[in-house]
Structure 1
Amino acid sequence: MIQMTARRPSLSSLLVRLRDRSPGLAAGLLGGAVAAGLGLGSLAMLVTLLWISSPYPDSGPGGALHVASALWLLAHGAELVRADTLSGAPAPVGVTPLLLLVVPVWLVHRAARDAVEGGEEEVPEVSGGTAWAGVVLGYLGVGAAVALYASGGELRPDWVWTAVCPPLLVMGAAGLGVWTAYGRPREALDGALVLLPAGPRRLLLGGGGRARLVVAARAAGAGATVLAGGGALLVGVSLVWHGGAMRASLLHLTEGWSGRFAVLLLCATLVPNAAVWGASYALGPGFALGAGHMVNPVSSAPASILPPFPLLAAVPEAGAGGWANWAAGAVPVAAGVTVGWLVGRAEPAGTQGWSRGRTAGVAGLASVFCAAGVAVLSALAGGRLGVATLARFGPVWWQVAGAALLWIAGLSVPTALVLRAWGRRERRARSERAVEPATRAAEGGRRFSSPWCAVGAWLGFQKVGEAGGGGTGTATGTPLMPYGGAYDQDDDVYRPLLAQRDTPFEPYDPLPAEPPRPQQPPSRPPHSPWWPDDADGEDPPGP
């Protein structure tokens, strides 16, 4: 018997290891399958409800389920192929509703997090790799079955897009869920940042690099939010401006209330896409409404043949843009100022602050992050809606990313530097104000914060503390008169002042506002020849 044979594990030990590991993998598989089933079931229920309420059902429940399966794949970024076209040639459908994209991401993230936690205990019982693999395999297993079923309908999945986009989405969301379950450890990010070049790596991993990275990420998120919110505002204003055309397109598409409800529901799922389109319009590159037809603030040239849809009715008219179109440039200005404001005001407490170079570097890094996020959103918000003219629909991601980088970096860097200088000036002023009272007290209270305070104190109108804590006076504004002569401790005038030694006043309490009351005259001595004996005040008798 050789050494390797002697160390070979027995079958019982392998069964024990498999039994110990199988619950975590099985829980991950089950969680992934349940997450896929929840997303698919919600879409199937909605489509079936619309099919039941439709006055003109073209197919049976099987057709409704095929449509639901195709929409589920479209929500994962896969492109569909529509076979029932007027020309007979298949037409692609590649615009992913971003609101539907949120549902599978959230479900997979939650399934992976629950698979790692494995219960209500604080310490995770399942390794991250096992939970991640189980959730991904379980979800993609259901996805493969759904893709096979949807291939028999009128909306068929494109196999290249189906093989690439859903797996990437599921793996990314599951990895994020596992990272969240372990408390978002920074070691995973440090391992990725080591691959960067020397300059960016020194900026991110040097002294305080993690804090700068967090500040840049938060500022970039705020800038992207301002861009998306501004784009949504532009879309809303345009919808109100073109309200008549929008209503006409809605009435032209369908006649029944169920069909109109379905169209409005589709518009609601495309509202995030419209917000990204509005942001790209505000940034300058605009978006494409057909191959060779761009719409931007400078000029608008939409395609002459567009499908009647309420959101497309809000597109600006063809021709050169006016002042109302140019006013959209306020959106990237607000985003750049927001990023610079957050970077300039995010100076760490208890330190001397960042240098000019580091402040500008953090603002530039936030601009890069913001441009990358806008590029991803632009790529997801657009796509193809057909062939020939409709082959390009939506923003061009690399143009939008470049414009966002120029806008955000050009505004955030000077804003952050100005706020940094202003913050250092405020801190310097606060430190001087903190030292100034002690300096005034050492100089006898003769310094004042301004000439007006000095004049007020000289006239006797200034109260205690208004001159920086160094002046002298009473609470009513009456200045104390100096007394340079000696005094006797038995004097009646200074006896009340000496009695204050035993009172619980603080050393810096002001003196009493009112002067001491005069003492009563001493009682007359008995049988005095110079004082009347009677009470009626008669003169004393002569000698």
Structure 2
Amino acid sequence: MTQVTERGESLSSASALERGRAAALTASFLRGSIAACLGLGTVSVLVMALWISSPYPDSSASGALHVAFALWLLAHGVDLVRPGTLGGTPAPVGTVPLLLTAVPCYLAHRAARDALEPQQGRPQLTAIGAVATVSGGYLLVAACATWYAQGGAFTASPLRAAIFLPLVVVAATSVGAWTGTGRPPLPLPRRLPVSARAWCGRTLWSVGARRLTGLALRAGAASVAVLLGGGAVLVAVSLIWHVQEAETSFLRLSVVWSGRFAVMLLGLVLVPNAAVWGASYGLGPGFALSTTATVGPLSGAGATSLPSFPLLAAVPQSAGGWPHWSAAAVPVAAALTGGWLTVRKAAPAYVDRSQAWSAGGTALAAALSAVVAGGLTALLAAAAGG
């Protein structure tokens, strides 16, 4: 009788554990779906508010909702196509507003982070489980949004959506899960041979290597922040210099306040893109206006025909001279920031010489921070350029 009772209690506890695990996975899946719905709802509210306030809407409420869904997909890097143009030729929409992208990425990140918070009465999810379930719930809503957006003024490529949506969502949820677990160091792959694991533990995964990598990441990120800030300053100065052209363009695009508010809102969500373009200008390569025109300190836009838009009024029409060459101060300031942070950590003031890093270690950290800054800048340039 006692054995039967103990077996019944063990089965009951195992069943309760399974139910708790299933409840935790379901809750995590719902977190992902709710995060996607929140982002989609935010964009939809803005678009519908602009549609309601417009005195001359050119579509129905359903059409405006289709546009909202398409813009939400664009925020994830999915290229759109506008088939109904004046010339009859479908026009691609590939420039992703980075400020708009920050909203769904933050929501997915937060959903994965919150899914790993311990809850009374439920087993703790693993990081992989949180990423899988949150991403699954998010992508389920994204699949429905992709299907719904096909019948609107902007259509999304299902192939591009199948590629970029999972990439963006899994990346955001992975960072969120890593944050939720306390930002632990990456573990060694389990399938490595014992000798390889021992070698990695002494070199790549050693305490010194992790300290070096952390310093390089922080210094590289700081350099990119200074670079983007300098790019934003360049754009602001150019806009002030061409304020009359920007004002004329702003007033020409719409004659009603709702339309001008929409233009202003579009300009705001493109400010991070403009900062990246300004940083590229300061670095020297510049940015491309078309397949044949590139704007940089040594080459202006010239006679290139540009659409009427306030931000585009800041594009330099000429090149050469100290006003354009002075943009090189932006990457110099970014490099000095990365170097200063590296030296400050490697050789702090008022410490014994034996506690400071070696010259080779300091140089290696500075070189790695430059690689990190270059990689992040290239990634942002690719995202901002469309």
Which TM-score applies when normalising by structure 1?
0.64
Tell me, in whole angstroms, the C-alpha distance in 2 between the residues paired with 1:168 and 1:375.
17
Structure 1: stretches of 5+ with no match in the other structure? 1-10, 384-543
In structure 1, the partner of 2:151 is 152
Superposed CA RMSD in Å reads: 2.6
Q: Give the match for residue 512 of structure 1.
A: none
The equivalent of 2:40 in structure 1 is 40
Q: Secondary structure at the match of 2:309?
A: coil
Report the secondary structure of 2:355's partner residue: coil
Distance (Å, rounded) in 2 between the aligned partners of 1:156 and 1:182: 39
Q: Do the aligned partners of residues 357 and 342 (structure 1) sit closer, same or farther apart at CA in structure 2, a change above 3 Å counting? A: same
Give 1:85 deviation, angstroms: 1.1
1:354–1:111: structure 2 CA closer, same or farther, 3 Å change rule?
A: same
Give the drift of 1:311: 0.5
Higher relative contact order (CA 8 A, sep 6+): 2
Whether the 8 Å CA contact 1:216–1:362 is kept in 2: the answer is yes
Deviation of 1:138 after TM superposition, in Å, equals 0.4
Per mean C-alpha deviation after superposition, the further-off stretch among 348-357 and 361-370 is: 348-357
Quote the residue 1:107 is aligned against: 107
Contact 2:135–2:170, Cα closer than 8 Å, also in 1: yes
Cα 1:345–1:120 change in 2 (3 A) is: farther
Per-residue deviation at 1:132?
Answer: 1.7
Tell me the matched-pair count. 367
Identity %, equivalent residues: 52
User: Do 1:25 and 1:133's aligned partners in 2 also have CA atoms closer than 8 Å?
Assistant: no
Equivalent AA in structure 2 for residue 28 of structure 1: S
Amino acid at match of 1:373: L
Q: What is the one-letter code of the residue matched to 1:355?
A: S
Query: What are the superposed Cα offsets for residues 379-429 of structure 1, whole Å, 9 maximum, x if unpaired?
Result: 00012xxxxxxxxxxxxxxxxxxxxxxxxxxxxxxxxxxxxxxxxxxxxxx
Q: Quote how far apart the aligned CAs of 1:321 are.
A: 1.7
* 3-state DSSP of counterpart to 2:128: helix
Say whether residues 1:369 and 2:372 are aligned partners.
yes
Match of 1:323 in 2: 322
* Cα distance in 1 for residues equivalent to 2:320 and 2:202: 45
Residue in structure 1 matched with residue 171 of structure 2 by the alignment: 172
Question: How far is the alpha carbon of 1:352 from its aligned partner?
Answer: 3.3
The alpha carbon displacement at 1:207 in A equals: 5.7
| Match in the other structure for 1:240 | 240
Tell me: CA distance 1:345–1:325, structure 2 relative to 1, closer, same or farther (3 Å).
same
1-side partners of 2:255 and 2:344: how far apart? 55
In structure 2, C-alpha distance between the alignment counterparts of 1:252 and 1:117, rounded to whole Å: 51
1:133 and 2:132 correspond: yes
Q: How far apart are residue 215 of structure 1 and its match?
A: 1.2
Q: Spell out, residue by residue over 1:323-359, the C-alpha distance to the aligned partner (whole angstroms, 9 max, x if none).
A: 1000000011111111111111112666432222111
Which residues of 2 match residues 322-361 of structure 1 at below 5 A? 322-347=321-346, 351-361=354-364
Counterparts of 1:144 and 1:58 in 2: how far apart (Å)? 27
Shift of 1:12: 9.2
Q: Secondary structure at the match of 1:299?
A: coil
Assess if the C-alpha contact under 8 Å between 1:294 and 1:300 holds in 2. Answer: yes
Q: Is the 8 A contact 1:117 1:124 kept in 2?
A: no
- Structure 2 vs 1, CA of residues 205 and 250 (structure 1 numbering), >3 Å: closer, same or farther? same
CA 1:200/1:94 → structure 2, altered by over 3 Å: closer, same or farther? farther
Please list every run of at least 4 consecutive aligned residues from structure 1 whose deviation after the TM superposition is greater than 6 angstroms: 11-15, 199-203
Is the helix fraction higher in 1 or 2? 2
What amino acid is the match of 1:300?
G
Larger gyration radius, structure 1 or structure 2: 1
Q: Secondary structure at the match of 2:70?
A: helix
- Aligned 1:177-188 pairs, distance under 5 A: 177-188=176-187
Q: Deviations over 1:205-254 (max 9, x none)?
A: 45622221111111101100110000000000000000000011111111
Report Cα offsets for 1:291-324 as digits up to 9, x if no partner.
Answer: 110000011135622211100111001x432110
Closer, same or farther: CA 119–17 of 1 in aligned 2, 3 Å? closer
